[in-house]
Structure 1
Amino acid sequence: MIGIIAAFLTTLSFIPQAWQVIKTKDTSGISLGMYAMFVAGVFLWMIHGINIRDVAIIAANGITFVLASIILAYKIKYK
């Protein structure tokens, strides 16, 4: 249960940042290098989840990947 709550909170924590970036298109306070590495890492965690058939890892990292990718895309587009 603790793992589910942790995955839920850490995954959804990207929603406010993604919403703020979409709304303002301001990415000046976001590190391109950090987000690029983070998106790559989350993608690899998702692949790992697929390989071991762990739905919790796949879902948490899949959602985080989408949200972090949106932020990264805006960082690249509006830098």
Structure 2
Amino acid sequence: MSGVTLLGLVAAACTTASFVPQVLKAWRSGSSADLSLGMYGLFTLGIVLWLAYGLLIRDTPIIVANVVTLVLVLSILVHILRFGKPRPPAA
């Protein structure tokens, strides 16, 4: 493995891992009311496009990072769609 590829993998690991605390917090607390559906939707589109780009140029760090990030971001999107809006108190 080249030094450039290793650098890319380390950078990818750092940026991808940054989503783990958000995913854990949302699922543990059961709340995602403060998260933006628009932001995560647009970010997901960007991740899908980066993944396509990585596949086309066969770049391992880009592919690995974006597959893992896509799973994490989709987890957040599912949570926002299921639990995002606070429910009004029962009457």
**Matched-pair contact (CA < 8 Å) for 2:19–2:69:** yes
Structure 1 unmatched runs, 5+: none
Structure 1 residue identity aligned to 2:23: A
Superposition pairs of residues 55-74 of structure 1, within 5 angstroms = 55-74=60-79
| Offset at residue 29 of structure 1 (A) | 1.4
Higher normalized helix content (fraction of residues): 1
Segments of 4+ moved more than 4 angstroms: none
What is the TM-score when the length of structure 1 is the normalising length? 0.91
| Identical pairs, percent | 39
Give the match's secondary structure for 1:30: coil
Structure 2 residue identity aligned to 1:57: I
Kindly name which structure, 1 or 2, has the bigger radius of gyration based on alpha carbons.
Answer: 2
Alpha-carbon distance in 1 for matches of 2:50, 2:63? 8
In angstroms, what is the RMSD of aligned CA positions? 1.1
Structure 1 residue identity aligned to 2:66: N
In the alignment, does 2:13 pair up with 1:8?
yes
Query: How many residues are matched?
Result: 79
